[in-house]
Amino acid sequence: MIKYASATELKDRLDAHARIGLIDVREHGQYGEGHLLFASNCPYSRLELRAPLLLPDRKAEIYLYDEGEGVAERAADRLACIGYEDVLVLRGGLAAWQAAGYGTFKGVNVPSKVLGELVEVAERTPQISAEALEDLQKNEGGLSLFDGRPARDYRKMTVPGSRHLPNGEMLYRFAALGLPEDQPVVIHCAGRTRGLIGVQSLINAGIRNPVYAMENGTQGWALSGRKLSRGNDAAPLPDLSVDQLEQGRAFAERFIARYDLPAIGPGEVPAWRDEQAYVIDVRSDAEFAAGHVPGAVHAPVVQLVQATDEWVAMRRARIALFDDNGVRAALAAFWLRQLGHDAVVVMDGLKLVADDSARSMPERLSGITCVELARLGCSATVIDLRSSMAYRAGHIPGALWAIRPRAEDVKAEVEGSVVLVADDSGVATLFASELDDETLADCRYLEGGMEAWTRAGGAIEVTPERPADDEAIDFLFFVHDRHDGNLEASRRYLEWETGLVRQLDLGERRAFKIIRTKAHADV
């Protein structure tokens, strides 16, 4: 039986800072056009794949909402099937929330962006314009310019002369850079948040160099009439010596003490696991791949702070953070606690040995090869479950485009065998669970997906206008082209970002626990 909550009841729980989960089960494009401030997006198309990561505590009080069309009720049933015990649906969905007079927020990763804006106001984080940055670059001795985003973003575009070094890794590896203490350091991102948080992290840590965030990042550079550098190769992250690692540990202990951050040892982690807390490794991709604590989720510091809602769907979440010497975990805890979470640093956490937690999933579909599909020809119905934009760019001729919450739309067109094309076999399995038993009996997954079909020389059909924009509920059209030279989109985005704080009501503002800090050279 579905349990419901009214908009007022949910708002009261949020304003009371209760430890609750909040999930928007609509697709990404719908979510980005307007959602509750602290909602994480867990689209119904990927629900059972994503929910165990976003909500490890299956006994927690969890709220779901949609657009009032019944998807949230279907999602509640699915979560109950995989062990969630206390799931409630917002009665009337997003429309009921708005009708009650409560606000919604466009865009993604909004709480993290609000944090950056609040910190900039509280700390007056130093910034530098594109013009001033260019002048500094011409001076003898110059400056050190860093792009604080992940490598994939750096490759897409960056400010000329910038070096790739993600936030979090910056403080951790600062000693290995060997910079003169009087050399200015400038950090930029694509907009504002990561630049502001990256600079404020160094200031709070007591770094002696003059430090600045580049105003409005790559978009500010482009809006000033300057060209961005594209197609960049990210150099390997600088290695630390054994001495520098030990010095970093001592620094982490001072930072933890300075800001009164809670720290635990490996022996205390099992109790956190028993309570289904988040266990997150914040090291680099390469370090995590080389070895990690079993069961830990990987979220590099820069992304965990910048996009917290993509890993944590609980308010006041309990989060245990792992790294090697404590610097990155302490920095992550410092910012996550300002987002209202109960984040702790696990010192010596990599010594922990634990069992990976099992996750129940529907049985996977059987596969079909590209050769077998070609032999079936028109006798099979091919359904493409990839993103709407990937489908537009090229799909198997005659393939239908579909998405799980609207599976009913294609059922009438199914004839013969069904072959599902997806980037993830799990997505295909979940879509298949929406089909009736007769159709499901002859439903298979294309092995290797569209990549394998293309490699095999299969024919490709391009449909730039199909699916139509109103059907492409997975794609966020909101200023989506701001990184591809659309300056008007960049202006709109920056106006949106700087206006977020003004949208907060009193209850939402109180959820942020901003720590007023000053530079501490003795940290």
CA dihedral 73, 74, 79, 80 (to 10 degrees): 70
Q: What's the pLDDT score for residue 483?
A: 61
Structure tokens at 132: 């001033």
Rounded Cα–Cα distance for residues 399 and 68 (Å): 30
Crossing angle, helix 110-123 and helix 193-204, to 10 degrees?
Answer: 50
Picking from 357, 356, 358, 362, the residue whose alpha carbon sits closest to that of residue 425 is: 362
**Tens of pLDDT along 269-312?**
888 888 899 999 999 999 998 888 888 999 999 899 999 999 99
Q: How many CB atoms lie within 10 A of CB 364?
A: 12
Rounded Cα–Cα distance for residues 523 and 520 (Å): 6
111-115, 246-250, 266-270, 370-374 — which is least confidently predicted? 266-270
User: What is the average pLDDT across 495-519?
Assistant: 89
Rounded Cα–Cα distance for residues 456 and 131 (Å): 51
Q: What is the pTM of this model?
A: 0.91
**Tens of pLDDT along 445-491?**
999 999 999 999 999 999 999 999 999 999 998 766 666 667 888 88
Q: What's the pLDDT score for residue 377?
A: 81
User: What is the average pLDDT across 200-207?
Assistant: 94
Task: Look over the chain and give the mean of its residue pLDDT values, rounded to a whole number.
Answer: 91
User: What is the average pLDDT across 225-242?
Assistant: 93
> Does residue 14 register a pLDDT over 60?
yes
77-81, 194-198, 437-441 — which is least confidently predicted? 437-441
**Tens of pLDDT along 19-41?**
999 999 999 999 999 999 999 99
Rounded Cα–Cα distance for residues 245 and 242 (Å): 5
Question: What one-character-per-residue DSSP string does 252-300 give?
Answer: HHHHHHHTT--EE-GGGHHHHHHTT-EEEE-S-HHHHHH---TTPEE--
Contacts by residues 423-426 (CB-CB < 8 Å, ≥ 24 positions apart): 423/386, 423/390, 423/449, 423/450, 424/46, 424/49, 425/364, 425/365, 425/367, 426/46, 426/48, 426/49, 426/361, 426/364
CA dihedral 40, 46, 49, 51 (to 10 degrees): 30
| Full set of structural domains in the chain with CATH | 3-108 (3.40.250.10), 113-239 (3.40.250.10), 244-351 (3.40.250.10), 367-455 (3.40.250.10)
Element holding 74 (H helix, E strand): helix 71-81
